[in-house]
Amino acid sequence: MPDVENPQNGAAPRPAAAPGGTPDNGRAHLPAARRDGPFLNACRRLPVPHTPVWFMRQAGRSLPEYREARGTVPMLEACAIPDLIVEITMQPLRRYAVDAAIFFSDIVVPLKAIGVDLDIKPGVGPVIAEPIRDAAAVGRLRPLWPDDVPYVTEAVRSLEAELGDIPLIGFAGGPFTLASYLIEGGPSKNHERTKAMMYGEPELWARLLDRLADIAIAYLKVQVEAGARAIQLFDSWVGGVAPADYRRSVLPHSTKIFSALEAYGVPRIHFGVGTGELLGLMGEAGADVVGVDWRVPLDEAVRRVDAGKALQGNLDPAVLLAPWEIAAERAREVLAQGRTAEGHVFNLGHGVLPSTDPGALARLADLVHEESAVHAGTR
């Protein structure tokens, strides 16, 4: 497999934002004819006919057809069945006029694939049988090889063919968020043991995060080489870390991930919840697009992030549980604030809540397109 970081011909890697270029090393087998639509162009801060939209967790429990397709198959088993991955990834595209698909998987899939004993418990989240708390346990975390996740390669390839011009977003868990699951043993409110290691055993912490960064890199490369046209790093739970500690203890590892992906030229999105104070640093890590939750208005996020970045977000997912006219008004506000950004990808501020009416999401996707097309001057 060609290594994009060390091109064999000695040529410098292609710069990140090179729309319409030829496929990169590792991606040469992919069709060259795919058009870059509104999602990829907004990520690259290029003109778009309308604001693109997709929804985090657009596939999932809010859809009856998802519940039907999953049946009684446990979550992690479902993530290893290519036909099921393809079906579930495609489901929201049949209902919503979204501009991108997100690969159906989970942030803990690569950990499971390297032999970490873990499960995803319904209503709880990832649970780790033997939490990682010492040097020996960190040492046992081995690298991820593409052969560990053949079902990912197969499913992404099928999706790439099925989606045509609609881009597939690949993703991985951010180093803090994965470390928290591994150290705490499951979901956590205060990330107590995680922070105790971050503060008290900085060398062990750095070794753990470095390994998790390498796993994320390998997992993202598998997806991009199979056809994913953008990637998102979900460091969902990093919002509890102060900026100085983020800079010291997390940023170097996230930077390693983004720079390892740079040569592919696919847009890189960086998202976390409650990260208002970290938005600038999350951009600095090397993201092309900074994801914003609903707490910081996008026009304020513009001021917090360096020039040269697009923004993604940020309607409060709970607004969709209110009457439609309220949600519509709030969505118009997000669009107006998003117009102050160099590029804007409309999304929710976090994932779709399971009790959301799919009809509201369908109307929301249409509203985003219609209202933003007016402003783009195409109507």
Residues lying near ligand CP3 in the complex (CB under 6 A) are found at 56-61, 70, 75, 102, 104, 106-107, 120, 122-126, 171, 177, 234, 236, 351
Residue 237 CB, shortest distance to ligand CP3, in Å, is 7
Hunting for tokens 């991820």 — which residue is that? 144
Of 352 and 367, nearer to ligand CP3 (C-beta) is 352
Give the shortest CB-194-to-ligand CP3 separation in angstroms.
Answer: 14
Of 38 and 351, CB closest to ligand CP3: 351
Q: Could you tell me which of 284, 255, 287 has the C-alpha nearest to residue 271? A: 287
- In whole angstroms, how close is the CB of 267 to ligand CP3 at the nearest point? 16
CA distance 248 to 181: 20
Cβ-based burial of 12 (10 A; exposed 0-12, middle 13-18, buried ≥19): exposed
Give the Cα separation of 19 and 16 in Å (integer). 9
The response to whether 230 counts as a known ligand-binding position is no
Q: Is 58 known to sit in a ligand binding site? A: yes
Amino acid in position 58: Q
- Structure token digits, residue 49: 């006919």
Q: Is 264 annotated as a binding residue?
A: no
Identify the CA nearest to 375 among candidates 367, 167, 75. Answer: 367
Q: Cβ of residue 124: shortest distance to ligand CP3, in angstroms?
A: 6
Name the active-site residue from 27, 34, 45, 70: 70
Q: Which is nearer to ligand CP3, 25 or 177 (CB)?
A: 177
Q: Give catalytic status of residue 133 as yes or no.
A: no
Q: Would you call 151 a catalytic residue per the annotation?
A: no
- Is the Cβ of residue 61 or residue 157 nearer to ligand CP3 in the bound state? 61
**Contact predicate 279/290, CB 8 Å:** yes
Which tokens is 317 given? Answer: 């997912």
Which candidate in 24, 106, 235, 316 is catalytic?
106
57 annotated binding-site participant: yes
Query: How many residues can be counted in the chain?
Result: 379
The answer to whether 350 is annotated as binding is yes
Report in angstroms how near the CB of residue 14 gets to ligand CP3 at its nearest: 27
Q: Is 157 a catalytic residue?
A: no
Residue number of the CB closest to ligand CP3 reads: 236
What are 377's two structure tokens? Answer: 């001057």
227 marked as part of a ligand binding site: no
The question of whether 181 is a catalytic residue gets the answer yes
Q: Is 106 a catalytic residue?
A: yes
Please state the φ and ψ torsions of residue 112, each to the nearest 5 degrees.
-60, -40
Q: 167-177: b or e for each residue (b if 16 or more CB lie within 10 Å)?
A: bbbbbbbbbbb
Which residue, 111 or 198, is less far from ligand CP3 as judged by CB? 111
What one-letter code names the amino acid at 232? Q
Q: Annotated binding residue at 206?
A: no
214 — phi, psi (to 5°)?
Answer: -65, -40
- Least distance between ligand CP3 and beta carbon 92 (Å): 7
In sequence order, what are the residues at sequence separation of 6 or more whose Cβ sits closer than 8 angstroms to the Cβ of residue 150? none
Q: Assess contact for 70 and 106: CB atoms under 8 A.
A: no
Evaluate whether 154 touches 213 at the Cβ level (below 8 Å). Answer: no
Is residue 259 within 8 Å of 221, Cβ to Cβ?
A: no
Shorter beta-carbon distance to ligand CP3: residue 63 or 198:
63
Catalytic residue among 36, 57, 247, 248: 57
Establish whether 295 is an annotated binding residue: no
Write out the binding residues.
Answer: 57-61, 106, 181, 236, 350
- Catalytic site positions: 57, 61, 70, 106, 181
Write out the binding residues for substrate.
Answer: 57-61, 106, 181, 236, 350
